[in-house]
Structure formats: C-alpha cells, structure tokens
C-alpha cells in the first residue's frame, strides 16, 4: 500500500462515528506509517501549533478498504 492511497480517505470509528478524511500521514525514515491525522483541522496542524485534528496511532487502525479506514474507538 502506498501513502497516496491513504490520503483523503474517509476515517470512521468502529461505532460509525465519522472523523473526517486523512490529511496527514506520519511515517518513519524507513517508510513505515506510525500515525494518521484526520478531520477538518488536520491540515492546519502542518502550519500552526493547533492540535484540534484527530491524531490516530497506526496501531489503532483496524482496517483499510478501498472505501474507508476504520479505527478503534467508540462502542462496536
């Protein structure tokens, strides 16, 4: 999977709560994804010290499909 395939993909919690689209992908020097940031404010975090987006550790990602990313959280 390429990082470009994650960019702008909708993200939701297990319970269906929509968190927004992927705005930021955090990777190691080796190219491993460590976290994603989504939501309306995610893009702003690149330019300001805002922390209002939804930073999500990659370990909390349950599934990635062609349609969306499902993350841990909320009641299933």
pLDDT digits (tens, 9 = 90+) for 25-72: 999 999 899 999 987 654 555 555 555 678 899 999 999 999 999 999
How high is the pLDDT of residue 18? Answer: 92
What domain range includes position 58?
3-71
Compute φ and ψ for 6, nearest 5 degrees. Answer: -90, -30
CA 63, 26, 23, 4 dihedral sign is: negative
- The rounded radius of gyration (Å) of the Cα atoms in the chain is 12
How high is the pLDDT of residue 60? Answer: 96
CA-closest candidate to residue 5, choices 71, 66, 70, 72: 66
24, part of any domain = yes
76, part of any domain = no
β-bridge mates for residue 32, sequence order: none
Distance of alpha carbon 61 from alpha carbon 20, whole angstroms = 14
Q: Structurally, how many domains does the chain consist of? A: 1
β-bridge mates for residue 26, sequence order: 35
State pTM to two decimals.
Answer: 0.78
């Amino acid at each position: 999977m390429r990082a470009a395939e994650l960019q702008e993909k909708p993200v939701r919690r297990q319970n269906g709560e929509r968190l927004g689209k992927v705005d930021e992908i955090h990777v190691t020097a080796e190219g491993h994804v460590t976290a994603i940031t989504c939501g309306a404010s995610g893009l702003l975090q690149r330019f300001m010290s805002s922390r209002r987006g939804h930073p999500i550790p990659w370990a909390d990602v349950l599934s990635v499909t062609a349609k969306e990313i499902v993350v841990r959280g909320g009641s299933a």
